[in-house]
Amino acid sequence: MTSAKKLFIKTYGCQMNVYDSERMAEALGGQGYVATDRPDEADMILLNTCHIREKAAEKVYSELGRLKGLKAANPDLKIGVAGCVAQAEGQEIMRRQPLVDLVVGPQSYHRLPELEARTRAGETALDTDFPEEDKFDRLAGRPKAKRGPSAFLTVQEGCDKFCAFCVVPYTRGAEASRPAARVLAEARDLVERGVVEITLLGQNVNAYHGEGPDGRDWGLARLIRELAEIEGLKRIRFTTSHPNDMEDDLIAAHGDCDKLMPYLHLPVQSGSDRILKAMNRKHTAESYLRLVERIRAARPDVLLSGDFIVGFPGETEADFEDTMALVRAVGYGQAYSFKYSPRPGTPAAERGQVDEAAKDDRLQRLQALLNAQQQAEQAAMVGRTVGVLFEKAGRMAGQLAGKSDHLHAVHVAAEGEWLGRIAPVRIVESAPNSLHGELAA
């Protein structure tokens, strides 16, 4: 009997890439591949790349350089690059690194089996098209193996916003929403396999407008309410959102849908109207603050998360202080902040850049404020009882780790039978990046 071929996937970037890597593994599972966490024993290595962070392409080339030894030791090893860097770089990847056998963009990974077959025939394979067919339709159904208690589910891809700093419209394409019936079917399948929490994913997830089974257009709120009817599904989350697509019914869902968790990632990027306009964000600081008020009126205990870019081209100290003022006004429980770095092909890359020392200084000041807000939010949880979904063993023996309703990491002294279950936990201590609690049941 021929032994199974082994597949190693290294995933960079966002949750959507995690989801995509799962689907790539499933697509190649039909070709006889099984997953391994050891690249040195793999028959195929896939790098599922992200183009958002600074020098993303160069990091991929560095990783490919580190794989030369494995290729030399095993000439039959196939190496592929997938994801957004693959989409952006295309043939250039193969030119710079001849050891690469396969390059596939994020909209074409359903074609991996045929691309893999070409590599086994001694060819190189490149596919960075935006195909007309739906890749989700082409992928085989998920194998019925038991799953962990939480899962990602992509419902929307691409973006039409064309923010001046962002490559997503060029690497993921225009906004496209999956039909609601297919999303619901995939969610039911996940629940049958042990999933109790689903996070809906999209580059601009609240722009979701998929065809419903009734032939009408469904927004994200309608989809969430239908998902909430699935027996056994306990929690629903979604990310990442754009402020301009936060419609009234979605705001209302945060108040009236019990399964929709009190956590919302709502990037604003800057508090300066001048910089927001230069970013092509099409909202103002004031409209964002009024939106936050409406969301909190619907769900007073919601934890807000955000994204911030400092040092965007043209940003002055006054612009930065506007960002600090907005952060103080909102009060974030979690946030991600970065120095601006140019992305080739985007409008902002051609503009005059802010001094690196100024970027560093502003980032440190912003992160100090955001960290203080996060610590205050966590400290306020002490003494409260929250629901915690236990997902894995903790670092210490006899300890389990999980996520609270508000997406805080929580550690509890508990036995293994609680894995995969949600239990009430009384928070007793706040650590720098997590909470500690005890079972209240």
Q: Hey, what are 108's tokens?
A: 């074409």
Q: Which domains does the chain have, with CATH numbers?
A: 5-127 (3.40.50.12160), 144-261 (3.30.750.210), 294-380 (3.30.750.200), 385-439 (2.40.50.140)
Nearest to 225, CA basis, from 203, 201, 255, 204: 255
Count of CB atoms situated within 10 Å of the CB of 440? 14
Give the model's pLDDT for residue 441: 66
Tokens linked to 291 = 């939106």
CA atoms within 13 A on the CB side of 332: 27
First-to-last alpha carbon distance for the chain, in angstroms, is 51
Higher per-residue pLDDT: 87 or 81: 81
Instruction: Please tell me which residue, 105 or 250, carries the higher pLDDT value.
Output: 250
CA distance 50 to 55: 10
| 50 assigned to a ligand binding site | yes
- Per-residue pLDDT of 379-414, as tens digits, reads 999 999 999 999 998 878 889 999 999 999 999 998
Cα–Cα dist 351/124, whole Å: 38
Please name which of 381, 361, 296, 367 lies closest in space to residue 335, comparing C-alpha atoms.
Answer: 367
Can you tell me the distance from the alpha carbon of 343 to that of 164, in angstroms, rounded to the nearest whole number? Answer: 9
Listed in sequence order, the DSSP H helices in 84-203 are: 84-89, 91-96, 112-120, 135-138, 168-171, 180-192
d(CA 378, CA 397): 24
DSSP for 387-431, please give it: EEEEEEE-SSTTEEEEEETT--EEEEE--GGGTT-EEEEEEEEE-
Q: Is 280 left (phi over 0), alpha (psi -120 to 50) or beta?
A: left
Q: Which residues pair with 197 in a beta bridge?
A: 150, 235
Nearest to 273 by CA among 331, 312, 328: 312
Q: Which residue has the higher pLDDT, 352 or 90?
A: 352
Structure tokens at 371: 């960290």
Return d(Cα 231, Cα 389) in angstroms, integer.
Answer: 17
Of the two residues 148 and 410, the one the predictor is more confident about is 410
Look at 11-20, 125-134, 348-357 and tell me which has the smallest mean pLDDT: 125-134
- pLDDT band at residue 323, thresholds of 50, 70 and 90? very high
> pLDDT tens across 110-128, in order?
888 899 999 989 999 898 7
Residues ≥6 apart with Cβ < 8 Å to 71: 77, 79, 99
Strand 235-239 with 197-201, pairing:
parallel
Give me the half-sphere count of Cα atoms (radius 13 Å) on the Cβ side of residue 424. 5
How would residue 136 be classed by pLDDT, with cut points 50, 70 and 90? low
pLDDT at 1: 42
Mean pLDDT estimate for the chain: 91
- Across 185-200, average pLDDT: 96
Query: Is a pLDDT exceeding 70 seen at residue 198?
Result: yes
Q: Region 39-54: what's the mean pLDDT? A: 85
Q: Point out the least confidently predicted range of 98-107, 303-312, 357-366.
A: 98-107
Whether the predicted pLDDT of 6 surpasses 90: yes
pLDDT for the residue numbered 249:
97
Query: Averaged over 355-367, what is the pLDDT?
Result: 97
pLDDT beyond 60 at 221: yes
Whole-number percent of the chain with pLDDT over 90: 71
Residues 102, 78 contacting (CB under 8 angstroms): yes
With beta carbons less than 8 A apart as the criterion, state whether 184 and 231 touch: no
Lowest mean pLDDT among 35-49, 77-91, 205-219, 245-259: 77-91
- pLDDT confidence bin for 141, thresholds 50/70/90: low
**pLDDT of res. 17:** 84
What is the distance between the alpha carbons of residues 165 and 209, in angstroms, rounded to a whole number?
Answer: 25
Q: Residues 371-384: what's their mean pLDDT?
A: 97
Dihedral angle of Cα 54, 56, 61, 64, to the nearest 10 degrees: 130
8 Å CB contact between 6 and 33: yes
The residue type found at 334 is Q
Name which residue leads in pLDDT, 295 or 129.
295
pLDDT band at 415 (very low <50, low <70, confident <90, very high): confident
257 is in an annotated binding site: no
For the segment 201-209, the average pLDDT, to the nearest whole number, is 95
Q: How far apart are CA 360 and CA 380, in angstroms?
A: 30
CA 311 to chain CA centroid, Å, is 24
